[in-house]
Amino acid sequence: MTEQTVCAYCGVGCKFEIKDNKLKGLKNYPANQGLSCAKGISQTQSIDTNRLLEAKHRDSTDAKFGTSSYKESLKVIAQKIKNCNPQKIGFYLSGQMLNEDYYVANKLAKGFIGTAHCDTNSRTCMASAVVGYKKSFGVDYVPVRMEDIERCNLLILIGANVAEAHVVFANKIKKAQKKGLKVVVIDPRYTLTAKSADLYLPLKVGTDIDLLNLLALRLIEEGFIDHDFIKNHSNDFENYKEKLLALNKDTLLKSTRLTQQEFESFYQLFTNSKNIITAWTMGINQSIQGVDKNLAINNLHIITGQINKQGSGPLSLTGQPNAMGGREVGGLSTTLAVHLDYSEANCQKVSDFWHTDSLVQKSGLTAYEMIQKAHAGEIGILIICHTDPIYHLPHRAYVEEALKNIPLVVEINAYENSETSSFAHIQLPAVPFGQKEGTQVNLDRTLTRVTAFKEKNGLLQDWEIFAMLGRYLGYEDAFNFQNSKEVFEEYQEMTRLSHDGHLDIYSANYNTLAHTPFIWGENLFKNNTFMTANKKANLFFIENKNLSEKTSQEYPFMLLTGRTRDQWHTGSKTAQVAKLLKYKSLEFIEINENDAKSLNIDEGERVKVSSIRGELVATVIFAKINHKTVFIPISHIKVNYLTDNKLDPLSKQPDYNHSAVKIEKI
């Protein structure tokens, strides 16, 4: 059989076959059926460029790095960990790590070093979806598969630009449209995705809850709800309904800035569709009310019974390739391991499983909370793996100050020159996609094998680094793994501890995963039984609290940030591939022509964009985007000097899409 592997970029999880060091979309694989996108397919070109190839060490970030070795550096780190209060140690992981990498890091931090401050960049990505699913359905579980769009009549894409962020899924949506699927796109920007929509709703940024409430209210008033489902499978409908009906429809509509006609078209589509999927990403999750927005979506599916049948349901689209796997392993500081929350009984089970008496007993700091602690001088060691927090966290100037306050910052990266590297004392090289092996889970619970097809040349994969550190700390037995398969199999055993064994990854087989994917949790909500206390789905009345930063006379524009098709975040891999740079420039700002004219700015001109927190320079592009709203892609490496660091109170996910800025000609 030909060698196969899975893409290391987005959550679609396309499978490739590998021939002569070239990748080709694998036919007959459910996620991509032979398709792939430009950045996915060009990944072999970044295996040998811009690589971090040796360990480096310096005592102060003012000094230059000297070369070191894994052994030397890890011994230093182990010694410093032994001398540090575990409460002052943080692990900052990534939704791009494989399950095995996550598993070993999580075991080391929570099980042996004894710090629960082990979180991941997925906090900035889908933490709101996790909390939303758990509140509504009792478990972090995506109850829809991508192939469901083939049985679906209406797909609502809200705050998701799949044409650039989930390219292959977007192509599959287009195919389904040819067979009758209708697509509504709800976004303050007329995105590439909006271009192929059947209906585009240019709602005002931050008003999604108003729109969803208006829809739910009308559905209830006009009887387009599923009474049987509500009665038998949901909690708290009467309270939800009473509060919802007390809202004023005109006020809701006015808030969204949509016209009555636009809303009626949406309503018609909704009420005329048998099967409905709502899919969302960062336009919903990255918000001070990110959890509430998720709940508002889930509510809609509960009251209409649009869930647990083919072609329907609330589908959170995961961004990173293994953000789902990270959630399952327990990479978020708010989970212990294998979907287990912190409780005495769960801690006992996990202590027994890991044979440890140092297990943490309560949830730890989330990503930005670690930064806040560091800012206050209360973090002694931060180990960062497979992510670039200086680049990706909001209010960058504050994050920079925080990292400067940490006596030991360790960065594990496969590539050179991350934005975080200037703040690191120790850098450790890891092997990237192409040289590492293990498993990952895509956005619809598909577990697949990642295969190494190039030599590691003496370098280690992320989990091997954490295991070596574990051994230097004296935990010989617990970290004595010989290969990725052994790590996976221990993780598999552990999934038996998950509640009712719902995380049935223990049934998969490492060897066969190389060619046959495994979908975990199929039929978890069979017969509409959810995983809440009484097995019914919870309804929550939600209101738009308008808590985000507001525009002002001085900062009159609302800034949105997001993806471009051919770039992957910092571009440590994609910006090395010449052909990917042709599609769009990296440092632009989208603004509508009228707003630009009022500032006397023309297309192609360079402008200074500032918020109260910082500034950057970008090139102007005219775009169809709402009045007084602008967009800067996250390929602009400085984007987070501008963004606000408000967090959702429950998910702790940042409010990236609502920062007030001003624009000046330079």
Ligand X SMILES: Nc1nc2c(c(=O)[nH]1)N[C@H]1C(S)=C(S)[C@@H](COP(=O)(O)OP(=O)(O)OC[C@H]3O[C@@H](n4cnc5c(=O)[nH]c(N)nc54)[C@H](O)[C@@H]3O)O[C@H]1N2
What are the residues binding ligand X (CB under 6 A)? 10, 94, 96, 121, 124-125, 158-162, 164-165, 186-189, 191, 203, 205-206, 208, 281-283, 286, 319-320, 385-388, 391-392, 412-415, 418, 430, 432, 436, 462, 560-563, 565, 567-570, 572, 634, 639-640, 643, 656-657
Q: Does 125 bind Mo ion (CB under 5 A)?
A: yes
**Is the Cβ of residue 244 or residue 385 nearer to ligand X in the bound state?**
385
Nearest approach, Cβ of residue 661 and ligand X (Å): 12
Q: Does 368 bind ligand SF4 (CB under 6 A)?
A: no
Selection from 13, 38, 18, 204 nearest residue 99 by Cα: 13
DSSP 110-123: IIII----EEEGGG
Question: Which amino acid, 54?
Answer: E
In Å, what is the CA distance from 301 to each residue of 139, 310, 534? 16, 13, 19
CB count in 10 Å sphere of residue 605: 14
**Is the Cβ of residue 320 or residue 645 nearer to ligand SF4 in the bound state?**
320
DSSP assignment, residue 75? H
CB count in 10 Å sphere of residue 158: 22
Selection from 18, 12, 16, 14 nearest residue 453 by Cα: 18
Which of 36, 461, 538, 592 touches ligand SF4 by CB under 6 A?
A: 36
Nearest approach, Cβ of residue 138 and ligand X (Å): 24
DSSP 159-184: S--HHHHSHHHHHHHHHHHHTT-EEE
How far is residue 292's CA from residue 308's CA, in Å, rounded to a whole number? 22
- The listed partner (Mo ion, ligand SF4, ligand X, none) that binds 40, CB under 5 to 8 Å by sort, is ligand SF4
Nearest approach, Cβ of residue 357 and ligand X (Å): 30
- The listed partner (ligand X, ligand SF4, Mo ion, none) that binds 206, CB under 5 to 8 Å by sort, is ligand X
How far is residue 85's CA from residue 446's CA, in Å, rounded to a whole number? 39
Which of 144, 167, 601, 663 touches ligand SF4 by CB under 6 A?
A: 167
Q: Does 12 bind ligand SF4 (CB under 6 A)?
A: yes
CB count in 10 Å sphere of residue 586: 17
Question: Which amino acid, 98?
Answer: L
Q: Does 9 bind ligand SF4 (CB under 6 A)?
A: yes
- The listed partner (ligand SF4, Mo ion, ligand X, none) that binds 418, CB under 5 to 8 Å by sort, is ligand X
Which of 81, 104, 163, 168 touches ligand SF4 by CB under 6 A?
A: 168
Nearest approach, Cβ of residue 95 and Mo ion (Å): 7
156 strand-pairing partners: 184, 278
- The listed partner (ligand SF4, ligand X, Mo ion, none) that binds 561, CB under 5 to 8 Å by sort, is ligand X
**Can you read off the two tokens belonging to residue 658?**
């609502």
How far is residue 439's CA from residue 514's CA, in Å, rounded to a whole number? 9
Question: Which amino acid, 444?
Answer: D
Angle between helices 290-303 and 208-221 (to 10 degrees): 20
**Is the Cβ of residue 7 or residue 661 nearer to ligand SF4 in the bound state?**
7
Which of 319, 330, 571, 654 touches Mo ion by CB under 5 A?
A: 319
**Can you read off the two tokens belonging to residue 391?**
């680049």
Q: Does 386 bind ligand SF4 (CB under 6 A)?
A: no
Q: Does 216 bind ligand SF4 (CB under 6 A)?
A: no
Which of 4, 39, 131, 381 touches ligand SF4 by CB under 6 A?
A: 39
Residues 78-137 that bind ligand SF4 (CB under 6 A): none
How far is residue 528's CA from residue 545's CA, in Å, rounded to a whole number? 32
Nearest approach, Cβ of residue 319 and Mo ion (Å): 3
Residues in the chain: 666
Binding footprint of Mo ion on the chain (CB under 5 A): 125, 319
Binding footprint of ligand SF4 on the chain (CB under 6 A): 7, 9-10, 12-14, 32, 36-37, 39-40, 167-168
